Structure 1
């Protein structure tokens, strides 16, 4: 398929710069095959689900993964260079892959100083501004330093319009975040409040958890005309035996499994072995879901509205079909839904053939 099939024009004013308050007052678009699109609010979600449905949440916790650093002067000519660092994949206790800007001003062997007490040594260079860096601290000590000197890694379409502030430390984190490791938030989960989770429990909806540490690579733009030439970055996941058993039981009993966010969906579709068995444990996944993909686990998806030409938009098109995708996004724009990470939500049911 061609990248141009996933393009659309979005009015700039529909990009949300702050989340709805309270979180579950955000709008909810509901799309079900062979039914008209419905407009609702997230707090009404229990009305659209039924007892026995299984919701799968990603309980990853977002790190303050945006860092500012200085590259020392290399020679008598020129001076120090300011560098923006966006961490995206932890390799071990002291080593991360990251994207840096300006990429052309950073080279192998450079030392980037984040603070007098924290430096990063560039030990590898990749494509598109990606570097591998070894920090001067490791383990929990490094995590504390990142939390102290970093800021929330808001997406560029927000950061270009306003500065990151203290409110984002709360707003850009789900209420159930537990496992430190993400450098971008699974934003569909931002709509959930303790009262909404309680209402889902009362409605007989099961809740289970997976962990996928979201990397910035998920959101990198697709730069190839044929989408199948795009290469996804790997992300680390963990699925408990309890969650795997709950999903397998639901599928065996004909109950619906709904992923809260594309990260939960990608995790669920990554834990099916060649024999169709639901597995548990940890690993890395670079699964790239595009139209034509046959879903093995997921029946529905709760997700925000995604950027044009993004891999996340392709995933949605695979789930609901390209015609439904165009209808949903046309309706969302016409009805002035708020888009992207801090925007409104949708509940999308899988097309019968997906």
Structure 2
């Protein structure tokens, strides 16, 4: 089933958040928040640190604990001596990654040199997609040590300053693997999370390592169904969801990555199962959400597939009206911008 696309809207360039809130004189949890009623389309407006006013005891917040890695690396191409940019895309195992090599004619058997102690060989060409597969000379924690020393975070075209990796992390991220920040959780502070827990809001974690979506070249277009991302849902999270539902609470996903993972892990009987694997689930208008009741997310650009996912929560016409209101009220877009709570 194809989704009915959200009406195209014009996003003024001034609403692209180019600067982290902390560099604009705000705490990260003091960005603005639009609250959207998924049934009626009614909106309310607050600051993100006031989230506790919209949640209730026994609600469950589900957070993506994936930590952002600095995925943009510089390497020397052994066969020519030229320096090339390599963008990590998906981790396949302890020493193998899919990657976007910003160079022509990359072939199996080529070697790239990142440092005196790190090289990578091309073991699979890109084929019909944009990525090659690289086998690194180091693995596990040793490879991550090199990546963190050598890499820079992925920065989108509207970001004009080389903000450090710290600005691309959530406070609770613990498991390295995302090449682009799971940004819906960025506005949380530990103080906020503790305050929510004191109110009786439960918190649980899962992981989805985000893949590379910013491909530099519009000739490569990612259909969501072609974007496979690695996820892991632990048993304690499944039990937290079951307890939340039994107590009459709402399961609120922090980010589209959490929605995608949870809805992937539902079996044929509609039961959430602890599991790990790869998901390419495409969620859209009319998709039967079986786990998630609400969503915390940022504001998404026109034509983004994330808007299709939001249309599973809110009728596209109501979502379009809310987005127009957000534009009129000058909410800020993207990972350094404002937040949208859908309940």
Match 2:186 to one of 190, 193, 204:
190
Deviation per residue, 1:76-103 (Å, 9 max, x gap): xxxx43322111211122110011223x
Partner Cα separation in structure 2 for residue 219 and residue 83 of structure 1: 15
- TM-score, with structure 1 as normaliser: 0.88
Query: How many pairs does the alignment contain?
Result: 336
Contact 2:4 2:285 in 1 (8 A): no
Structure 2 residue 109 is the aligned partner of structure 1 residue 109: yes
Partner Cα separation in structure 1 for residue 100 and residue 277 of structure 2: 23
Matches within 5 A, 1:316-327: 316-327=310-321
- What stretches of structure 1 of length at least 5 have no aligned partner? 75-79, 350-354
Q: State the secondary structure of the residue aligned to 1:68.
A: strand
2:45 aligned residue: 39
Q: State the secondary structure of the residue aligned to 1:144.
A: helix
1:173 aligned residue: 169
Structure 2 residue 271 is the aligned partner of structure 1 residue 270: no
Match 1:299 to one of 254, 268, 293:
293
Superposed CA RMSD? 2.4
2:28 aligned residue: 23
- Would the alpha carbon gap of residues 52 and 3 (structure 1) be closer, same or farther in structure 2, given more than 3 Å must change? closer
- Would the alpha carbon gap of residues 176 and 219 (structure 1) be closer, same or farther in structure 2, given more than 3 Å must change? farther
Partner Cα separation in structure 1 for residue 17 and residue 65 of structure 2: 23
Deviation per residue, 1:206-234 (Å, 9 max, x gap): 11111111111498999899x9x753321
Matches within 5 A, 1:49-88: 49-74=55-80, 80-88=81-89
Contact 1:245 1:278 in 2 (8 A): no
Contact 1:88 1:97 in 2 (8 A): yes
How far the C-alpha of 1:282 sits from its partner, in A, is 1.5
Partner Cα separation in structure 1 for residue 105 and residue 149 of structure 2: 25
Deviation per residue, 1:89-130 (Å, 9 max, x gap): 11122110011223x243332222222322221111223431
- TM-score, with structure 2 as normaliser: 0.91
Partner Cα separation in structure 2 for residue 259 and residue 185 of structure 1: 16
Contact 1:7 1:309 in 2 (8 A): yes
2:329 aligned residue: 335
2:198 aligned residue: 202
Partner Cα separation in structure 2 for residue 86 and residue 41 of structure 1: 35
Contact 1:270 1:285 in 2 (8 A): yes
Partner Cα separation in structure 2 for residue 101 and residue 220 of structure 1: 9
- Would the alpha carbon gap of residues 191 and 143 (structure 1) be closer, same or farther in structure 2, given more than 3 Å must change? same
Partner Cα separation in structure 2 for residue 30 and residue 288 of structure 1: 24
Contact 1:221 1:309 in 2 (8 A): no
- Would the alpha carbon gap of residues 170 and 301 (structure 1) be closer, same or farther in structure 2, given more than 3 Å must change? same
Compare the two structures and name the one with the higher helix fraction: 1
Q: State the secondary structure of the residue aligned to 1:52.
A: coil
Contact 1:66 1:150 in 2 (8 A): yes
